[in-house]
Amino acid sequence: MKKKTPVTKNDELTATITDLTYQGMGVAKIDGYPLFVAGALPGEQVKLHVLKADKKYGFAKAVEYLTTSPERVAVGKKELVQTGIAPLQHWAYPAQLKYKRKLVVDLLQKAHLSHLEVAQTVGMDEPRHYRNKAQVPAREYQGQLTTGFFRRGSHNFIQLEDYEIQDPRIDEVILAVRDILREFNVPAYNEEKHTGVIRNVMVRRGHYSGEVMVVLITRTKKLKGAAEISAKIQEQCPDVVSVQQNINPDQTNVILGKTTKVMRGRNYIQDQLNGLTFNISAQSFYQVNPVQTEKLYARAVELADLHGDETVIDAYCGIGTISLSLAKAAKKVYGVEIVPQAIEDAKENARLNKLDNLHFEVGTAEETMKKWADNGIKPAVIVVDPPRKGLTADFIEAAAKTAPQKIVYVSCNPATLVRDIERFGEQGYSVKRPLEPFDQFPQTTHVESVTVLERTEK
């Protein structure tokens, strides 16, 4: 017999929000059955309308707030919550920082690692206008090309001009580019029909240099009036030192295609990070919050505790942002990255900063780590900054084989971090100091952290 849920679709009920999910949705429990409520905060008593009731959980809409949290703050733009750009903007910033620490604590408890300590989240003095990069969709809206974003979980386009979490100058440049594209009658991309030209507008800005890059991401190779459009962008925005076209002809959610060509100016912008200078190309991975990245990377280098005679491996090195900081304190740094352009950028950045104690290679972290281990490279420290999926079991095994005294793990996903801490434990590595969360993405549910794993002497 099918087990009945305590609520059904279209029920109207009153409940108290007890928690927040890792996606930032309020949680109400009805006889132990969780209902997820977008926009609701812990402690709030809410009248709910049930939208969906699956076997194990359901979704409900807040119809009326009977009580509101003292931590609720006025929302500047409800669209930023709807699109998922700033899903926590209605929550006071100190509460966001506590929530992000709790995300890490809860995951450790689930993994029976509750004995590990978690420090307070390192926040920002100004938790808005921090992003140095934007990738905004262009679509036809009310008969003309418009930039904006999609409602979360849908393809419903919402026109936006102020994104609040981006560098304000980026928002200004996006609007200038939008107006120029309108002037030249460039058609916006139509997702359903796979027609039109402009798919996205990407803008990057150097936090210290002020240099701006504009990348027009097109469905077609040909962009009619490209020379005039790029000239007008630079004329109206003199801080734009690079205008590029990226071609993505595929029906895909992936933003960038494989081909990028310079329309005007350079193929990179330059910026500084912890006193080092970096060339950043269109496809480079470069952290989007420069203020917090300086704190995060400085802390990672500090925790590596280098004295000048060590060999260090930087897996997932990207364009060398962490590698170069490590090189100032180590004897030799080896970096590996799967993206060839990133390795070219890393080598150029080493030359730019007159650092000659680095070696960069293109390859997967797993295979390159195995090769280096077989070649007798014995790092004192390995630094990892992997994507959200974390480290593979093969990488962890290969890393342990080189027997570093210390592994400094920069994580953008606490779930995979906790899993990897368990795997490193099987290889004889343990966490002896508090995990340190960093708020790289204020107003969102994301949390980064830095953790040190040390070899347990047998």
Query: CATH number for the domain including 214?
Result: 2.40.50.1070
265 and 296 in a single domain? The answer is no
Residue 80 confidence (pLDDT): 72
Length reported for the chain: 458
220 part of a folded domain? yes
Same domain, yes or no, for 385 and 435?
yes
In a domain, 121, yes or no: no
Same domain, 331 and 442: yes
Reported for 306-312, long-range contacts at CB under 8 A and 24+ positions apart, including other chains, are 306/330, 306/380, 306/381, 310/379, 310/380, 310/381, 311/377, 311/378, 311/379, 311/380, 312/379, 312/380, 312/381, 312/382, 312/383
At how many degrees (to 10) do helices 393-401 and 365-374 cross? 20
Do 242 and 325 lie in one domain? The reply is no
Question: Which strands form 157-159's sheet, in the order they lie side by side?
Answer: 157-159, 144-150, 133-141, 198-205, 212-218, 240-247, 259-265
Looking at the fold, whether 440 and 305 belong to one and the same domain comes out as yes
In a domain, 216, yes or no: yes
Which of the listed residues 29, 54, 72 is the one where a domain comes to its end? 72
The answer to whether residue 275 is domain-embedded is no
Question: pLDDT (tens digit, 9 = 90+) per residue, 211-239?
Answer: 999 999 999 999 999 999 999 999 999 99
d(CA 126, CA 287): 17
Q: Is residue 116 part of a domain?
A: no
Are 201 and 52 in the same domain? no
Final residue belonging to a domain, choices 28, 43, 72: 72
> Are 261 and 295 within one domain?
no
The verdict on 146 and 32 lying in the same domain is: no
Global pTM reads 0.92
Residue 51 has φ and ψ, to the nearest 5°, of -90, -35
Q: For the chain, how many structural domains are there in total?
A: 3
Catalytic positions are 412
Q: Which domain holds residue 433?
A: 289-455
Distance CA 372, CA 314 (A): 12
Instruction: Tell me the DSSP string of 89-132.
Output: TTB-HHHHHHHHHHHHHHHHHHTT-TTS-BPPPB--SS-SS-BS
Q: What region, left, alpha or beta, does residue 223 occupy, with left being phi > 0 and alpha being psi -120 to 50 degrees?
A: beta
Does residue 2 lie within any of the structural domains?
A: no
How do strand 406-411 and strand 381-384 relate by DSSP bridges? parallel
Q: Are 260 and 306 contained in the same domain?
A: no
> Where is the binding site, in residues?
287, 316, 337, 385
Q: How far apart are CA 214 and CA 136, in angstroms?
A: 12
Domain C-terminal end among 25, 47, 72: 72
> Residue 150 in 3-state DSSP?
strand
Q: Does 297 share its domain with 417?
A: yes
336, part of any domain: yes
Query: Domain with 301 in it: what CATH number?
Result: 3.40.50.150
Domain assignment present for residue 199? The answer is yes
Nearest to 133 by CA among 214, 242, 76, 189: 214
Kindly report the CATH number assigned to the domain that includes residue 17: 2.40.50.140
pLDDT tens, N- to C-terminus, the chain (458 residues):
456 889 999 999 999 999 999 888 999 999 999 999 999 999 999 999 999 999 999 999 999 999 999 999 987 767 676 667 888 999 999 999 999 999 999 999 999 999 999 999 999 999 999 999 999 999 998 899 999 988 777 778 888 888 889 999 999 999 999 999 999 999 999 998 999 999 999 999 999 999 999 999 999 999 999 999 999 999 999 999 999 999 999 999 899 999 999 999 999 999 999 999 999 999 888 899 999 999 999 999 999 999 999 999 999 999 999 999 999 999 999 999 998 989 999 999 999 999 999 999 999 998 998 899 889 899 999 999 999 999 999 999 999 989 999 999 999 999 999 999 999 999 999 999 999 999 999 999 999 999 999 998 65
What's the token pair of residue 398?
């290969």
| Among candidate residues 395, 382, 377, the one with its CA nearest the CA of residue 338 | 395
Do 372 and 407 fall within a single domain? yes
- Which residue ranges make up the annotated binding site for S-adenosyl-L-methionine? 287, 316, 337, 385
Six token digits for residue 294? 């300086």
d(CA 225, CA 241): 19
Co-location of 329 and 233 in the same domain: no
